[in-house]
Structure 1
């Protein structure tokens, strides 16, 4: 019997389709895998879910943990007011969600990273040399102050979210002067993110903007719980105000764990995911802040940079995360095929990413071949 000739492109597509069929993907809900048990799981729970202090709000106060291994739900635990159907405030995890929405727009060729922000958001015309990739690296050069509780009277972010900037958050951020060359200094800024959110409107147009996060990201992933607040100008508060159930947020983690692919569809271009996971070239770790993750393209990385240790020494170097205020986290560990969502209400700094990840890996990582 003659062997049929398969053109290279057809062969590649067939291989991708075969891979997608061999993998486990969530449908309306996650497929459950074997639930781990034993001493390692108990040790993890003692750290993640100790006796909860709701009076003083001290210590580790996890609201939810969901663990996905190789596309299957293997562990979930809820506490406090949070349950499986609760859309939880993600705080700054929203920034990485916005990066994923922008990734879809990038794949649709709606913008390029080296374009000036003002091309898509005219309110940024006063800063013509700031480019989109600068905002994605939190390197706009704006004179921005991100402190919350520790310096509320001087805080740019408090003013933006709660007082004089809340009506039009992107315009408030754009009104800040530069105090550094764009693209050269990392300074974490919720203002940078909300300018990106306003620029997204210019990329997709007014008519498409309101539904774009759903059409671009949430609906293709089967996410049904998403809520995303806007400011009075109608701009999504990309820095802070998205809400999802833990199970739904895990879908974004699986998308990133599999390099932007969802089933047979390459939802995020692979070069976009590579950009998200590449350290900002001019980032300098602060020796006074060990454990601080390395900024990538609006995601946080466990990268080991010259002269510094990995931020989370007991986690693989390919681990990366979306992180938010008061302990919100979406951890992605590609080499372990793990996605871990943690929602929390941590208030006193007791929680440590490395401690959590070390125990989670002991409890949930697959046994690797020797």
Structure 2
């Protein structure tokens, strides 16, 4: 692609973005993201009171949801779809792609392509050697503590925030131009650039295209269906910080993998301790891990940005009813709640809920956790 063609495509994308054109029409270059060759549905069962499931289902239905699913102790106990969505309808991941990318890194560590989370990014993004970015580690990128410019809203088409997302060479822009504004590791700042760096990291570490790595090393081993992924250009680099299109059940399976500590049907897919690393907060943000958010301690309003930033926060009417709950939490309140102690995973995908009444990010898990009660936790501990 010539420089002129690249700029023309960027300009077209920016105009669509600036005028609010979103959804599938905004993703102009999609590539296959294969899943397991022969898909089998998760085993079904009934282990949660039906009244609680109905209450949670009604809450999801009233809030612009496309899918609501609940898995409990090895069984799919709830599967509802809304607005014409079916079990095989591709759901635009938005930031549900970020934990997927973290899991992809875990697989690369398990397969010996990456030494550890504390390996410098510059071992693979060699352009950073001899620069201040050489100090950035993989853990810092996954945990939004790289020191790179925070995410924000920019109305200027020349702004780096827009070019790092929409340009057909967005990976080169992030690697070569994206500003380092804080000392690596010193501050938590949400930035899509961190998530987008995972595709080039995986491709350079493994020698495999990012989509192939996801397909073969993440989706196929957990029996998940695939779909498509947004490319920055034909034959270019996929977006790893957003924009995969896969059925809702695939995102649920990612949560189940983490609820099982990275083990699927007796096979360890993620290194021992990797899920613990994902769910360990830092002093810079007690609610953020690596691609996931930590349920405790309680905060009535909180979001993906630095705790001092008020924009983009979600409301929590009460503390989560399980201290070990963590979650995927993407744009438009697409959530996957994971409670390892209860072997419980809850998914809600869809568009942005109505503004009134405000979406309650604690509602769905707390309805079900309160219904399960203490007996379920006692059973989990063998008492």
Bucket of the pairwise TM-score, normalised by the shorter protein: 0.7 to 0.9
The reply on whether 1:213 has 2:214 as its aligned counterpart is: yes
Match of 2:223 in 1: 222
Residue in structure 1 matching 2:243, options 238, 241, 244: 241
1:34 aligns with 2:34: no
Q: Deviations over 1:8-35 (max 9, x none)?
A: xxxxxxxxxxxxxxxxxx9711111027
Residues 1:364 and 1:241: Cα distance change in structure 2 (over 3 Å): farther
Verify the 8 A CA contact 1:320 1:331 in the aligned structure 2.
yes
Name the counterpart of 1:21.
none
**Of 345, 351, 363, which residue of structure 1 is paired with 2:359?**
351
Question: Secondary structure, in 3 states, of the residue corresponding to 1:330?
Answer: strand
Gaps of 5+ in 2: 1-37, 303-314
Deviation for aligned residue 1:39: 3.6
- Residues 105/62 of structure 1: CA separation in 2 closer, same or farther (3 Å cut): same
Give the CA deviation at 1:153: 4.4
Residue 107 (structure 1) aligns with: 110
Secondary structure of 1:63's counterpart equals strand
How many residues align? The count is 319
SS of match in other structure, 1:66: strand
Find the aligned partners of 2:228 and 2:295 in 1 and give their Cα distance.
29
Shift of 1:210: 4.5
Within 2, Cα distance between the matches of 1:156 and 1:327? 26
Q: CA deviation at 1:343?
A: 0.6
Structure 1 counterpart of 2:319, from 291, 313, 323: 313
The partner residue of 1:183 within 185, 191, 214 is 185
Picking from 122, 140, 148, the partner of 2:146 is: 140
Q: Is the 8 A contact 1:279 1:303 kept in 2?
A: no
Q: CA deviation at 1:46?
A: 3.1
For 1:323, what is the secondary structure of its paired residue? strand
Q: The residue matched to 1:213 in structure 2 has which SS? A: helix
Q: Deviations over 1:325-353 (max 9, x none)?
A: 11211111111211111111015553221
Aligned twin of 1:275 = 277
User: Which residue of 2 is the match for residue 119 of structure 1?
Assistant: 123
Pairwise CA distance, 1:209: 4.3
Verify the 8 A CA contact 2:195 2:241 in the aligned structure 1: yes
The 2-side partners of 1:316 and 1:139 are apart by: 27
The alpha carbon displacement at 1:180 in A equals: 0.8
TM-score, normalised on structure 1? 0.78
The secondary structure found in structure 1 opposite 2:94 is coil
Structure 1 38/209 Cα, relative in aligned 2: closer, same or farther at 3 Å?
closer
Q: Which residue of 2 aligns with 1:61?
A: 64
2:331 to 294, 300, 325: 325
Structure 1 residues 45-60: aligned runs within 5 Å: 45-50=57-62, 60=63
Relative to structure 1, is the Cα distance of residues 337 and 167 closer, same or farther in structure 2, using a 3 angstrom cutoff? Answer: same
Distance (Å, rounded) in 2 between the aligned partners of 1:360 and 1:156:
43
Q: Distance in 1 between matches of 2:227 and 2:98?
A: 14
| Superposition TM-score, scaled by structure 2 size | 0.76
Match of residue 259 from structure 1: 261
Question: C-alpha separation between the residues in 2 aligned to 1:280 and 1:183?
Answer: 10
Partner of 1:3: none
Aligned residue for 1:243, secondary structure, equals strand
In the alignment, the residues of structure 1 paired with residue 60 and residue 372 of structure 2 have an alpha-carbon distance, to the nearest angstrom, of: 14
Residue pair 2:171, 2:196 contacting (<8 A) in 1 also:
yes
Aligned to 2:200: 198
The Cα shift of 1:157 comes to 4.5
Q: What secondary structure sits across from 1:97 in the alignment?
A: helix
Conserved in 2, the CA contact under 8 Å of 1:280 and 1:297? no
How far does residue 184 in structure 1 lie from its aligned partner after superposition? 1.1
Distance in 1 of aligned mates of 2:75 and 2:231: 33
* Deviation at residue 78 of structure 1 after TM alignment: 0.9
Q: Deviation per CA, 1:193-221: give whole Å up to 9, x if none.
A: 1112211111001x454511111111111
TM-aligned CA distance change 1:227 to 1:124, over 3 Å: farther
Q: 1:37 Cα deviation (Å)?
A: 5.1
Cross-structure match for 1:299: 292
Contact 1:336 1:366 in 2 (8 A): no
Rate the CA distance shift 1:30–1:366 in 2: closer, same or farther, 3 A: farther
Measured in 2, the distance between the counterparts of 1:169 and 1:360 equals 42
